[in-house]
Chains A and B, each alone.
Chain A
């Protein structure tokens, strides 16, 4: 890349973000599943997220896009307090689930994570059998009382994740022996088995080939009817294909939130336009 273009990019990069443009809020309060107001996240002295205001609606897929290091994963992890495990990480502002503050003292992080499940970038099945992987959460929380119910739950979860047909004869085989795409679907089945209300997905298909990606995208579209899904993705095509709303993050700030169609066809903010047209990122 010549210096000229690099300089130009830097200029485009340096546009000041004053306020989030577009429609970060949802009008009807009964449609809101999660809401954050003035959310800041710090790693030690370094601030990673600056005053994010955003509503996540019920039964919608909201995609979060933006260049690497823009804080979208950090924001996602703040939504189910996965950041708690990082000692130097601090979250401030208001983050609510069904109107309840998830960072209040009364909120139990274990209960929260049972309600807000997470699927990670790299498929991470436990080194146990497929069955035990799916049954893990249910056993952990005591969701079922007998073996037959557990069998049913495992089957239902695997079916919902579109994996049951492929593994029904090998439920006792290790989950780590599956292919990458199957492993990720196993991880989704494992998350569904706990019956969460919100599923957070942190680049769930970035390690997968296009075919596996397509299967998972289809799956997400079906899951939308029962769950709220927030997905972080680097693929703008993916965001365009699956999400109803898209949020664009830049340098820790939420730049623009709009209906996905609008973001990709008619972005309001200059930075969003620069990003989706591939001028940087």
Chain B
């Protein structure tokens, strides 16, 4: 299955035990606890109104409450977080967030630690108090929410931080909430970014490409929604300015044993239903709603063709003068000499990867450079599905990827006068990359026989586009293929701010470390050992990688702060080995 479930936050139980007597001593009297909330929430009519609003909310049941808790309490919490908690920037394929390292979760802490955060502790107590839980349960139609299984963390989103589309369906979560604590003395404005954006669904577990609702967070405002498997998709818009969007996020879980509303087996059934029974359904639905399709066309039509490619792996001189001439119409001549090809081949065999700088020849590269720059600087960039005109389409669904791609079928249907010069030239390059002659070049460099192919021209827009880490999909339809896929990415990104690394848009190949139970696609904050390749967007560079099953790949979300889009052409080939020697493996 190509979609990864992302484990975004960990959960710990409070089981009582040694902590229970201390907890009883600290339990606030109900009146005192209620007094720390905005008194409106205890009004039945207000609750009924909110419940009705949430029931009718789009795209799914969500709501928010402004001025939720006592202002001075929350200011004190903010102060505590600022002074006592150390945040560490963590970046994966799906997010870039400053996480609270040593206090990621308040459960199970000892008193020595909690004494540093008395107001934070108080806040957690009131948020998980029975009266408040009952209000939330009522307005969200959730029946019962656990007060025992507390699950809260603090994060701060600074400039560039973001969290891509996901549904929060993990474990026994029933209601998600986010309590916002930006600067209490200044309004958080829309253009700052950092909004909570909600996505409608096309079908169960298939979110639409664009959001349809957005909350601009204010101090002491809480947003919450019922976790609805397959539907409660949302993201956190990138923070665009140099400000801190501090928040406390958490979940209410299904009631635990001993609690009111506990039903034996309910949690297990919920978890199993979401994580396994739907898995197959997800896969089938994803196939139906996923664009562009993973359609690998057969590239080798006869045994003779296959043999001719295999021969190139053995003898670089098997490339004829005529073939070299055809290749030279697009590829820089330095890569077509015997020495040039040999150098590339040697590097590829050593590392199973090679980066070919100045791949396209000067004429092709210069022309594309001018045209792409012209489009970037003079044409409004379409940012929604509706704004995107043919022959460009939006890749979807957004919990897997989002980018624009050139739909070659639509392009072919256009009349010549309709065709934009840039689209024409990109299409020509794409056609060249799909040609049999180019496959000979690939065979010569990689010593592999490309049997199928898929080529897509892509544009990753700033503040919008990305692909999430996915597992390799082997082709079961062709015999004797290697258990690898050869991937090529021709990077055609024209502006030069990519190297700094803080605008995203880089391509990562990394080891799939599922077993450690942590976020698989961690780019930073993991010592970097699982990341095998990290290539910033660049101009006119072809990266070839032989990707085996244990490798995840993704293109990091392109920051709103990037000067322009990341452009590339992505290629996939299912391959056979060029030799029959099994001992080589």
Query: Are A and B subunits of one complex?
Result: no
